[in-house]
Structure 1
Amino acid sequence: MNQETVYDAIVVGTGITGGWAAKELCENGLKTLVLERGPMVKHIEDYKTMNDDPWDYPFKGQLTREDKKKYAKQLRVGWAPRDDVKHFFVNDLEHPYQETKRFDWIRGYQVGGRSLTWGRQSYRWSDIDFEANLKEDIAVDWPVRYKDISPWYDKVESYIGVSGEKLGLKQLPDGQFLKPMELNCVEKDLQTAMKTNFEDGRLLTIGRVAHITENDTKIEGRSPCQYRNRCWRGCPFGGYFSSNSSTLPAAERTGNMTLRANAIVHEVVYDENTKKATGVKVVDAETGEALEFKSKIVFLCASAMASVGILLNSKSKSFPNGLGNNYDEVGRNIMDHHYQLGASAKVDGHLNKYFKGRRPNGFYIPRFVNLDDKTKRSNFLRGFGYQGGANRDNWSDMVAELGHGAAYKEAMLKPGGWRIGMTGFGEMLPHHDNRVTLSKDKKDKWGLPQLDFDVEFKENELNMREAIKEEAAAMLKAAGFRDINTYDNATGPGLGIHEMGGARMGWNPRTSVVNKNNQVHEVPNVYVTDGAFMTSASCVNPSLTYMAFTARAANHAAEQFKLGKFA
């Protein structure tokens, strides 16, 4: 590649947001260089475990002791990585970071990023979310409202394919949905019990998930979900949305995209004379070669914390503490969602019922607290929702004493009883002292500063965690389920894998990093559209919102480019 070529735009990252930025910029005619720090992953061709069965792996897919050392921090999440998908998670020995306070940074460095392994839950924000900071005098006000983002939600949902049920809730706006997946019999029992026993409007629905569920869809290059539930290995059918199956191919079809893998962006280059960015500096991950690529626009979509690290490392005479950081706002207000706490129970009955396929989705209970005076809680702000599911136990769980012989063989042919569980996803406030900085002395194998996390749950979050457990148990009890157990794994932030903040959006350059169009206030040809720009966190999965803002920002950038604003 010729380092003297001046691209119209550079996109850093190929995950949820990088793919969308690439698609929108390329479809608007901009010659776009897309840089990914990890290796190439081609759709279908590089999903090397996509058709494996459980018996193809020793130790039921568990990692060896040697691999557990490599993935020590990634394993904190509990369900990953496993032998069938470890290649989509980072090796912690090769990609270290520091923890002044515990932060669970779960990552995947490859083309497609975490769009290959995300949970695919897709929910809109409402004005309750966008207005909360202003009404409660928390942090800074969002410079946008739901009406500004709603058309972009429409665009994104129609393109990626989101299945779900319309509910008419003010706290969870409806969208452009494909037909919903089905609840099973036990989940329907809980749904009925909630309607009957609670007066605060709580309800249960099937999750809104980025899976195609209809055969006659017009979504190009993808086919409906096959209910294999092997999503995180990469889906050869394109049943769920990923950059690899959807947005990156769309960008490539235009002929305007150049994609380079193994390119670690560590700095945005700033021109003191023009007051604009001129490109990025890169280290080749394989050779260690130092490179510089030039462009008129830069989109940071590397994932929230990685983009924050790039901004902090982009130092110049005008920005001695990092690009856009003259008021010490870059790296602050880090957020995540509560995770790995809730309740579970055993369920009597329905022993003559089962379900077909492996539904890659569960039920969802939308937020029902702190919505009005009737639902107001006195000891914490904001709210939470739940994701969960019901299933039948492993074949022989109930007959462990029958470990051999004819009786054991017969028992293996019969499913056990039903269980149900739910985990809470709660909002974390944007505390100003929850921050990430560059380590003063620790560097990675490429000589780049490691990130150092100083983030914690505070009183509001701890009070909310108690409510999440209590309400989960109350709903299971109302349904008549038994042996109810609450749990709280007492994790640090990060484990929800919804890390946000560090370059928040706002009106004032002194208290925020980017404006309402996702442009760095003082450097308007640099856009930040991954989770770093989030000003607050809501309690719903954020990826749909990232995509909507990214599509909006990329079209804004294309308009400005055509007007000659970035010449």
Structure 2
Amino acid sequence: MANLNTTVNKTHRYDAIVIGSGMSGGWAAKELCEKGLKTLVLEKGRMVNHVEDYPTMMKDHWEFEHRGALSHDDQQKYHIQTRIGFVGEGTKHFFTNDLEDPYIETKRFDWIRGNHTGGRSLTWGKHCYRWSDLDFTANACEGIAVDWPIRYKDIAPWYSYVEKFVGISGEKLGLDHLPDGVFLPPIPLNCLETHFKQAMVKKYGNRHVTPGRVAHLTDPQPWHLELGRGQCQNRNRCSRGCPYGAYFSSNAATLPAANRTGNFAIRPHSVVHSLIYDEKTNRATGVRVVDSETKEMTEFYANLIFCCASSMATTQILLNSTSTRYPNGLGNDSGELGHNIMDHHYHVGAMGSYDGFEDQYYKGRKPAGLFIPRYVNLDEQSKNPNFLRGYDYQGAGAGRGNWGSGVNTPGVGAAFKESLFKPGGWGMGLMGFGEVLPYHDNKVTLHPTQKDQWGLPTLVFDAEFKQNELAMRKQIMADAAEMLEASGFRNISTFDYSGGIGVGVHEMGTARMGRDPKTSVLNGNNQVHGVPNVFVTDGSCMTSSSCVNPSITYMALTARAVDFATKALNKTDL
């Protein structure tokens, strides 16, 4: 794979600028470049090239100095991100050093970050589920926050467009509230997961069990192979960087696709300070960038600007982009910029052991478990009076115990060593994933005096899970235990560790879309109200959060917004 072009032109002028190179930034770059626009991508962190910059991709656990655990010094460096167990010795290079880039927590906020080329597309969970009109109409139906300015029909063709390129493995279910997509063959359930699925069919009519719909190439198509991507090898070492390009990331897919057009350049170590606004034209003319290494300020100019830095980072940039016209942040006439933080709440469910299937095992370390779509509050028959919206179960799966069971077991000699090679019993866990409502008082603001090392005001988080989420968690836990018991599991135990908002790594909503500039930051085309050449397509644009992973929705919204923006640019509407 050829390295990405990092040569910046001498004029610092481009047709388009994309802030961020992660999930949505990669898509913006690909689409803009393929439509013929000279595009500059600004990346806050270091350069990471596909394959050559994945230092731990082939290592086994015993090759790490601390067997995968963080040293004491590293625990201090990643003290926020280790609170929920995301960072290990094999992946620490893809996570942000919390000491170097701190923030303020009025209430606990678990901000998981990756400041480097590709961002969190290198470490994401890869689950991809379409939203439906159950999601897009929920706010309007319940009188909560504001209505989405789009419906499923507006984004459905763009889901299909991005799914084909990404490569999503999954099976079709025919559910209205979880629309089917363009799928590659699913990653199969193992024997115990299949048993559980059969038990759910027998016990419940509306609880479907299916392999997780994940961005893994189980059957690469010609357009995947052209980019050098290959079939998933079931190594389950995805977050170290995949040398096969089997799971979707910006580094393996969208950025190389942009690079091959000849219209692409990326500038790492570029901390965007603010957007440059022209009050005469009501347009942004460019961005101010602080070099993270030299601390020098540079300006870059473009006719189109796409903000894709991640929800909180984009909001920080917009809030810091002040002018006489926008004293409280670019496009912030509504006062909603920074408010309505959402995420998903999880780390709640149950686990148990199962007697049987001792004569069966499984091959490889499959990177996805089972998925149980939402079955609560779909209609009057499934209504739960204790909370609004719903939840699903994902990332869960069944497996057998291994040699690790001997770590705390007394024993020596040949017989003990031989026992470690015998598979243990079967067990399975169910992990709930719930929707968070858009509360206005869940917010992020700029500290009035404290600044980071690059001169940007420090972010202050004041957000929490509220009663609706807490009530939902009780039901998630109870249902998980009930389903395991109904399918013959024993030694069932429940767990509930909520953490703070941010724990789901799906922070959303701080520059929401809407129909009215008085109550929203963006319109239905992801344009900033009042500044039509600025588009925001990362998580900050979301108006509600659904209970399924949002990344494929970010991608579809980004492709859709680029299509609109380039057509408008050609008509000189921008």
- Superposition TM-score tier, normalisation by shorter sequence: over 0.9
CA contact (8 A) 1:434 1:455 kept: yes
Match of 1:344 among 331, 334, 351: 351
How far did residue 555 of structure 1 move?
A: 1.0
User: Residue type matched to 1:303 in 2?
Assistant: S
Post-superposition offset of 1:447: 2.0
Distance 2:34 2:324 in 1: 36
Which of 354, 375, 379 does residue 382 from structure 2 map onto?
A: 375
1:370-398 CA-to-partner distances (Å, cap 9, x unmatched) read: 00111000010000000111111122627
The residue aligned with 2:143 is 137
Match of 2:488 among 480, 490, 497: 480
Q: Per the alignment, do residues 159 and 482 of structure 1 end up closer, same or farther by CA in structure 2, a change over 3 Å counting?
A: same
Taking the aligned partners of 1:218 and 1:261, their CA distance within structure 2 comes to 28
Report what 1:516 is aligned to: 524
- What runs of 5+ residues in structure 1 fail to find an aligned partner? none
- Once the two structures are superposed, the pairs formed by residues 233-382 of structure 1 within 5 Å of their partners are 233-382=240-389
Give the aligned partner of residue 8 of structure 1: 15
How far 1:174 moved relative to its partner? 0.1
Partner of 1:527: 535
State the shift of 1:403 in Å.
2.2
Deviations 1:123-146 (A, max 9, x none): 000010001011111110001000
Runs of 4+ in 1 over 6 A off after TM superposition: none
Corresponding residue of 1:211? 216
Q: Distance in 1 between matches of 2:487 and 2:189?
A: 16
Tell me the alpha carbon deviations over residues 86-144 of structure 1, each in whole angstroms, 9 at most, x when there is no partner.
Answer: 01000000010111111100000000000000000000000100010111111100010
Matched residue of 1:76: which SS? coil
Q: How far apart in 1 are the matches of 2:101 and 2:413?
A: 49
Percent identity over the alignment is 59
Structure-to-structure mapping, 1:7-26, within 5 angstroms: 7-26=14-33
Distance 1:122 1:135 in 2: 25
Residue 456 of structure 1: aligned partner: 464
Asked whether 1:86 is paired with 2:113, we answer no
1:399–1:411 CA contact under 8 A, matched in 2: no
Unaligned runs of 5+ in 2: 1-7
Give the drift of 1:77. 2.0
Alpha-carbon separation, structure 2, partners of 1:442 and 1:75: 25
Structure 2 CA distance for partners of 1:352 and 1:400, relative to 1, 3 Å: farther
1:431 equivalent to 2:436? Answer no
Of residues 194, 202, 206, the one that matches 2:207 is 202
Instruction: Supply the distance in 1 between the matched residues of 2:131 and 2:84 (Cα, whole angstroms).
Output: 26
The yes-or-no answer on 1:181 pairing with 2:187 is: yes
Map 1:409-420 onto structure 2 (within 5 A).
409-420=417-428
| Distance verdict in 2 for CA 1:3–1:291, change over 3 Å | farther
More off after superposition, 552-561 vs 541-550: 552-561
SS in 2 for 1:423: strand
2:510 to 502, 506, 524: 502
Kindly provide the amino acid, as one letter, of the partner of residue 486 in structure 2.
Answer: A
* Native 8 Å contact 1:178 1:214 kept in 2: yes
How far is 1:565 from its partner? Answer: 2.1
CA pair 23-215 structure 1, distance change in 2 beyond 3 A: closer
How many angstroms does 1:216 deviate by?
A: 4.8
Which residue pairs with 1:56 in the alignment? 63
What amino acid sits opposite 1:316 in the alignment? Answer: S
Secondary structure at the aligned position of 2:556 is classed as helix
Q: Secondary structure at the match of 1:225?
A: coil
Contact conserved, 1:300 with 1:527, CA < 8 A, in 2?
yes
The answer to whether the 8 A contact 1:3-1:292 is kept is: no
TM-score normalised by structure 1 residue count: 0.98
| Aligned-residue offset at 1:82 | 0.8
CA distance in 2 between partners of 1:235 and 1:93 (Å): 28
How big is the shift at 1:402?
Answer: 4.2
Is the deviation greater in 527-536 or in 345-354?
345-354
What secondary structure does 2:306 align onto?
strand
| Partner SS state of residue 130, structure 2 | coil
Please give the secondary structure, in 1, of the residue aligned with 2:336: coil
Corresponding residue for residue 5 of structure 2: none
- Contact (CA 8 Å) 1:142, 1:505: kept in 2 or not? yes
CA distances 1:214-264 after superposition (whole Å, capped 9, x unpaired): 155432321111111111111111101000011001111111111101100
Matched, 1:538 2:546: yes
Query: Aligned residues, how many?
Result: 564
Q: Give the distance between the partners of 2:377 and 2:143, measured in 1 at CA.
A: 15
Structure-1 residue corresponding to 2:122: 116
Q: What is the alpha-carbon distance in structure 2 between the residues aligned to residue 461 and residue 3 of structure 1?
A: 52
| Letter of the 1:180 counterpart | P
How far apart are residue 48 of structure 1 and its match? 1.2
Secondary structure of 2:137's aligned partner: helix
> C-alpha distance in 2, partners of 1:357/1:114?
25
How many angstroms apart in 1 are the aligned matches of 2:553 and 2:24?
10
Match of 2:344, SS? coil
What TM-score do the two structures reach when normalised by structure 2? Answer: 0.97
User: What does 1:152-163 correspond to in 2, within 5 Å?
Assistant: 152-163=158-169
Over the aligned positions, Cα root-mean-square deviation in angstroms equals 1.2
Q: Per the alignment, do residues 455 and 215 of structure 1 end up closer, same or farther by CA in structure 2, a change over 3 Å counting? A: closer
Provide Cα deviations, 1:1-56, integer angstroms capped at 9, x if missing partner: 45643211100000000000000001111111110000000111111111111111
Of residues 554-563 and 307-316 in structure 1, the stretch that sits farther from structure 2 once superposed is: 554-563
Once the two structures are TM-superposed, the CA of residue 417 in structure 1 deviates from its matched residue by 0.5
CA–CA separation in structure 2 for the residues paired with 1:394 and 1:438: 49
Q: Give CA deviations for 1:260-300 in whole Å, capped at 9, x if unaligned.
A: 01100120110011110001000001111111101111100
8 Å CA contact retained: 2:346, 2:498 = no
* 1:166 match: 172
